[in-house]
Copies of this chain bind each other. A is one copy, B any other.
């Protein structure tokens, strides 16, 4: 029985450094909890001469050759923390081929090469652990695969992108505009110089794909996920939403009823102020999961950052170490494909509730023409608000629409857009009541 597991660390950037430091700080505690020690044996870095604050492994441990780490016979398991999808894929495949379990935090790698990597893990009877790849410190992979294993997941709602949640939280609190808050977030390091991966929803879609795959047992390609971002949301929308009792969050949504297909999408939605998801503020992430046995559950924590991600990597390291110790490497497999007939349903087949903000010319008969278009589409208006205190060539008009088919709504919106009493681009957002 193995008493000490030797780790090969590939990457010593923000997350890699966080893992190295956390292991140095809490490694002895983990060993006393686990009954097996964890020791970093070799570390692959890009630049040997870079001076590091905090994580500073002895020079003898460092190399620039990741293959030397993956293939070192003294290394029992490999941790891939370099990011990207090219070299990272090679590192993971090389380690698996050598029969070594791999821990990774790389969601893009999994989203785009998951099937290949999981197949390799099976073929070489190693395993791939990826708790850190989705929602940082939230153990959502373990929850879906282990804690909720007795459940059919009928609904999953995720606040999975900390940058978007930070921006929306500040827009809400300060009444500020998107561009202004984004610029400030970039200055503070909460948003990238090129923010599109985050604010256009792609990062959340990568994560949603992984969670949907685990929940439903067939691999979901993130390219097939209907994805909208938050660039078009204005301070006015947050203000009107608040007046109506809602906040706005970028949600990843997975819905599946009975034996039907699954719907996976990412879009900003109005959610009721009193709902527990509405209190998820700032850079925090949360995943709300409804199981047919357990009912509603929520998991909340930091979605990114060196420490939260390191915590998830340590959890995987512990599982991997226990599996090595007990020769149970395939105990919880990286991905079990158990749904042969899994399929995605396009968003056009969904029914949703909507918030519609129009810039209308302030004259009689405008509402009648809009209502006529919606009426012909058999779409019912649940309320109309014409906020006071707006003057000028055009004024805002808010329509709340309950349970309308997406396709009908899209067609109606196309017609409304053409009315010459409508100025600017109509703003349409979905309302999510968690039903």
Contact = CB atoms under 8 A, between A and B. Distances in A.
Interface of A: 22-23, 25-26, 29-30, 32-35, 131, 137-139, 142-143, 145-152, 217, 274-276, 278-281, 284, 286, 291-302, 305, 307-308, 310-312, 314-315, 317-319, 322-323, 325-328, 330-333, 336, 338
Contacts of A330: 326
Contacts of A292: 25-26
A311 B276 contact: no
Given A30-B150, A326-B326, A137 B297 contact: yes
Given A138-B297, A295-B137, A328-B331, A149 B276 contact: no
B301 A150 contact: no
Interface-centre pick from A280, A291, A327, A333 (highest chain B CB count, 10 A) = A291
B26 A315 contact: no
Contacts of A146: 139, 142, 315, 318-319
A79 B121 CA distance: 33
Nearest to A299: B299
A297 B5 CA distance: 28
Contacts of A310: 150, 293
A291 B312 CA distance: 12
Given A22-B150, A32-B338, 14 more contacts: A25-B293, A26-B151, A142-B147, A150-B314, A150-B315, A274-B281, A278-B279, A284-B296, A293-B310, A293-B311, A294-B307, A296-B302, A327-B328, A328-B331
Contacts of A319: 146
The 6 lowest CB-CB distance pairs between A and B, nearest first, are A150-B314, A139-B147, A294-B311, A326-B328, A297-B301, A298-B300
A293 B307 contact: yes
B295 A307 contact: yes
Contacts of A149: 30, 33-34, 314-315, 318
A35 B336 contact: yes
A359 to B, nearest CB: 33
Nearest to A151: B311
Contact of A326 (B280, B307, B331): B331
A29 B338 CA distance: 8
Contacts of A307: 293-295
30 contacts: A26-B292, A26-B293, A29-B152, A32-B336, A34-B149, A35-B336, A131-B147, A137-B291, A139-B143, A139-B146, A139-B148, A146-B315, A149-B318, A150-B314, A151-B314, A276-B300, A293-B308, A293-B310, A294-B308, A295-B307, A295-B308, A296-B302, A297-B300, A297-B301, A297-B302, A298-B299, A298-B301, A322-B328, A322-B332, A326-B327
Nearest to A297: B301
B322 A331 contact: yes
Contacts of A278: 279
Nearest to A332: B322
A322 B299 CA distance: 25
Contact of A279 (B276, B297, B299, B301): B276
A310 B308 CA distance: 31
A323 B323 CA distance: 11
A294 B310 CA distance: 8
A294 B313 CA distance: 11
Given A274-B279, A328-B331, A137 B32 contact: no
A331 B319 CA distance: 9
A296 B291 contact: no
A152 B26 contact: yes
Contacts of A33: 145, 149, 217, 336, 338
Contacts of A323: 328, 331
Contacts of A293: 22, 25-26, 307-308, 310-311, 314
A228 B333 CA distance: 45
Contacts of A296: 284, 301-302
A232 B293 CA distance: 36
A276 B131 CA distance: 24
A149 B279 CA distance: 27
